[in-house]
Amino acid sequence: MIKTMNSQVLIIGSGGAGLRAAISAADAGAKVLLVCKGKVNRSGSTLLAGANVSADVMCDGRSMAAMNIPGIGDENDSKEKFFNDIILEGVYLNDRKLVHQYVENAPQVIKEIVDSNSNLHPKGDDREIGIPGSTIIDTYYNMMKTRDITVVQDSALVELLKAEDASVAGALFLDLIHGELFAVQAGATVLATGGMHNCYTFTSGTTGLAGEGQAAAIRAGAEMTEMEMVTFCPGVITHPAKWRGSILPYIIHTNDHFRLRNSKNEEFLAKHLPQSAVDLALHSEWNKLLLCYAMYKEVADEGNGDAYGGVTFDMEYDSKEQEQEFYDSHPYLKEGACLSIMDYLRAHHGIPVYGAAHYFDGGLKVDETFATTLPGLFAAGECTGGTFGSNRVSAATTQMLVQGLQAGKTAAECALAHEAKPICPACLEKAIADAEKPFAVKGEDPRLLKKRINEIVSRAAGIVREQQQLEEGLAAIEALQLEQYGVTVADRAYNRSWMDWLECRAMIDCAKGILRSSLARKESRGVFIRSDYFFTDNDNWLVSTHYKNGEVWLEPVDQTEIPAPAGKLDYIANIEAVIKRLTYS
C-alpha cells in the first residue's frame, strides 16, 4: 500500500498563487501541506514573469499613490475606473464578480511586496510597477517560512482523489526523485498549477507546465470555462536554442527604436493592420494580440517567415548617444543573459522571434470565493478562467496573488468547518492502476507522443484558427492511443519517460477542451481569432464557453455592469472601438 499523508488544506503548486494560498490558509488556522513539482522557491512560471526583469503588478492609481512610491500613482484614478477598464480589455466576457475581487484585493498584495523589500525601487506609471518574478516568489516564500506549513517538493500531481460522496478528498502524487506514488488526504484542496503551455510547440512557459491541474480536474468532472482563450506573446526568441522562449525582446519592445522585419527585410505591420492599429501595436498594452496577428499573417499567409518560422526583431538608433541613453535607462540589459542576448542582437542586426503560447485566460470555473464546481476543490491563478474574459491586459501576477489570498482563506474555512472525509479506496486503487499503466506496455517512447500533440494543437489552435483545421485537430487528438506508449526504463526512480507519459495524458485532456471550445465560438474576440468568422458579434456572442465531461455549452455573460454595445463589427475595428472607451487611453 502506498504512503498516505494527512492535512486540513492541501495546496498544489508553489508559484505566487500557491504560496499566497498557503499563507492565507495557515493564517486562518488550518494545518497546511504544500506539494510542488520542483523546488518550492525556484520552480513554476512566476519565476519567469517579466523575464525575471520587470513583471507588472497592477492596481488602481489612487491605491498605488497611497503606497508613496516616488513618481507612481494617480490620485484622480479609482477602483471603479480600473474595474471598467478590465471589463473593456476583456471585451465584455469577464466574470464581473471575479473582477471585483481582483480590483478590491490588488492593493493589499502589492503593498505586501513593497513593504517586504526595503531595497526595492520599482519603476512604473499610474497603475503599475515592475517587479522581478524572483522578488515576488522570494517575498511570499519568506512569509511562508514564518508559518507552520509543511512542504513536499519534486512531486507531480497524478490525480485528484474523491471521497465516497464524490467530493474531492485529496490527491495522488508521484515523487519524481524516488519514483514512488503517495496520497494526501485533505479537507480542502487548492489547485495552483499554472497554465497548459506544453500543449504547444513554441511557448514562453517553463517545461513543467503541462496542464496537470486542469486535466486532473477535467477527469474528476469539474466544469471549465473559456478554454479557447489563449494569449500569445510576440517578441519571443525562436533562435538561438539556448534563449528559445525568452520574452526579453517583448519586454523592451515598447521603446521607439524597435522594428519587426520579414525574411525580405521589410517592415510589414502596415500590410495587415490599419495605421491606427499599428500605433496601438507599437505603443500600447494591446500589442500582444495585434502584433501576433500581424506576424501570423506575414508568416502563414504571405510566406515571408525566416528559417526559424518567425520574423526578425531589431533595434535601430539615430545616434550612438541615443543608443547609450536607451541602455542607461535599462540597466538590467548590461547583466547576465540579458547582456548576451543584446550582444547577439547588435552583432546580427536582429534576433529571430515569433508569437508563443504565453498565458491561458481560460481554465477551471470558479466563483468569487474560488470554489470550483466540485465540492472540496478550489483553484487560483492561471489554472482558473473568467477573470480576464477574452483578453488579459491587466497583470496576471496580481491575479495569482489576489486569487491565492482568497482561495487559501476559503479552503481553510471549508476544512475547519467539516471533518476531512476519507479517500474512497476504489478511487485510490483506480488512480494508482491508471498511473502505472505504461509499465505494462512495451511500446513507443512518450516523447514521440508529446511531439505529436504539440504539432496538432499548434497547427489547429494557434494564433488564428478556422473550422477545418480545428475539426481535423480534434479528430487527430481523439485518435491518439495513449496505451501504445510505455516507459523506456524499468527503474521508477527519476523515470523521465514515466513523467512524459503522465504529462501526455494531461496534455491530451487539455487539448480536447481547447479544441472543442474553439469550435464552439463562431466569432473573433480578444485573443481568440477565427479567420472564417473575422468579426466580433455582441448581438449573439456575449457568451462564455463551458466544458465538462467532453461536452461544450454556452452561457450568457451577465452584462449588468459595463454592458457591451449592441452590434457586430470587423475584428480590428471592434478592438479600436473598445480602446476608445478606456479611461486610461
Q: Is the pLDDT of residue 524 over 70?
A: yes
Binned at pLDDT 50, 70 and 90, residue 54 comes out as low
Helix residue ranges, H only, 421-555: 425-435, 446-460, 467-479, 496-520
Q: How far, in Å, CA of 94 to CA of 563, rounded?
A: 11
| Stretch among 399-413, 483-497, 526-540 having the lowest mean pLDDT | 483-497
* Amino acid 256: pLDDT: 63
Q: Is the pLDDT of residue 132 over 90?
A: no
Q: Is the pLDDT of residue 314 over 60?
A: yes
| Stretch among 43-57, 109-123, 274-288, 317-331 having the lowest mean pLDDT | 43-57
List domains and CATH numbers for the chain.
3-229+360-427 (3.50.50.60), 231-357 (no CATH), 529-580 (no CATH)
Q: Is the pLDDT of residue 327 over 80?
A: yes
* Amino acid 47: pLDDT: 64
Q: Regarding beta strands 55-58 and 535-537, do their DSSP bridges make them parallel or antiparallel, or are they unpaired?
A: unpaired
* Amino acid 315: pLDDT: 87
Q: Is the pLDDT of residue 413 over 80?
A: yes
Mean pLDDT of all residues in 489-505? 93
Q: Which residues contact 327 (CB under 8 A, 6 or more apart)?
A: 333, 334
Q: Average pLDDT, whole number, for the chain?
A: 93
Q: Is the pLDDT of residue 567 over 70?
A: yes
Helix residue ranges, H only, 309-395: 320-329, 336-347
Mean pLDDT of all residues in 40-60? 74
| Stretch among 56-65, 222-231, 249-258, 316-325 having the lowest mean pLDDT | 249-258
Q: Is the pLDDT of residue 585 over 60?
A: no
* Amino acid 96: pLDDT: 98
Mean pLDDT of all residues in 264-275? 93
Binned at pLDDT 50, 70 and 90, residue 254 comes out as low
Q: Is the pLDDT of residue 130 over 90?
A: no
Q: Which tens digit of pLDDT belongs to each residue from 19-48?
A: 999 999 999 999 999 999 988 887 777 766
Cβ atoms 200, 389 nearer than 8 A: no
Cβ atoms 212, 201 nearer than 8 A: no
Mean pLDDT of all residues in 453-461? 98
Q: Which tens digit of pLDDT belongs to each residue from 203-221?
A: 998 888 999 999 999 999 9
Binned at pLDDT 50, 70 and 90, residue 281 comes out as confident
Element (H, E) at 17: helix 16-27
For the CA atoms of 331, 336, 339, 340, the dihedral, rounded to the nearest 10 degrees, stands at -170
* Amino acid 51: pLDDT: 56
Q: Is the pLDDT of residue 584 over 90?
A: no
For the CA atoms of 205, 207, 209, 211, the dihedral, rounded to the nearest 10 degrees, stands at 130
Q: Is 259 helix (H, G, I), strand (E, B) or coil?
A: strand
| Stretch among 186-195, 255-264, 293-302, 381-390 having the lowest mean pLDDT | 255-264
Q: Is the pLDDT of residue 447 over 90?
A: yes
Helix residue ranges, H only, 126-242: 133-145, 212-220
Q: Which tens digit of pLDDT belongs to each residue from 82-104?
A: 999 999 999 999 999 999 999 99
Binned at pLDDT 50, 70 and 90, residue 294 comes out as very high
| Stretch among 40-54, 60-74, 495-509 having the lowest mean pLDDT | 40-54
Q: How far, in Å, CA of 30 to CA of 150, rounded?
A: 12
| Stretch among 132-136, 236-240, 342-346, 434-438 having the lowest mean pLDDT | 132-136
* Amino acid 49: pLDDT: 65
Say what the pTM is: 0.95
Task: Tell me which DSSP letter residue 557 carries.
Answer: P
Q: Is the pLDDT of residue 55 over 80?
A: no
* Amino acid 149: pLDDT: 97
Q: Is the pLDDT of residue 123 over 80?
A: no
Q: Is the pLDDT of residue 50 over 60?
A: no
Q: Is the pLDDT of residue 412 over 60?
A: yes
Mean pLDDT of all residues in 523-529? 98
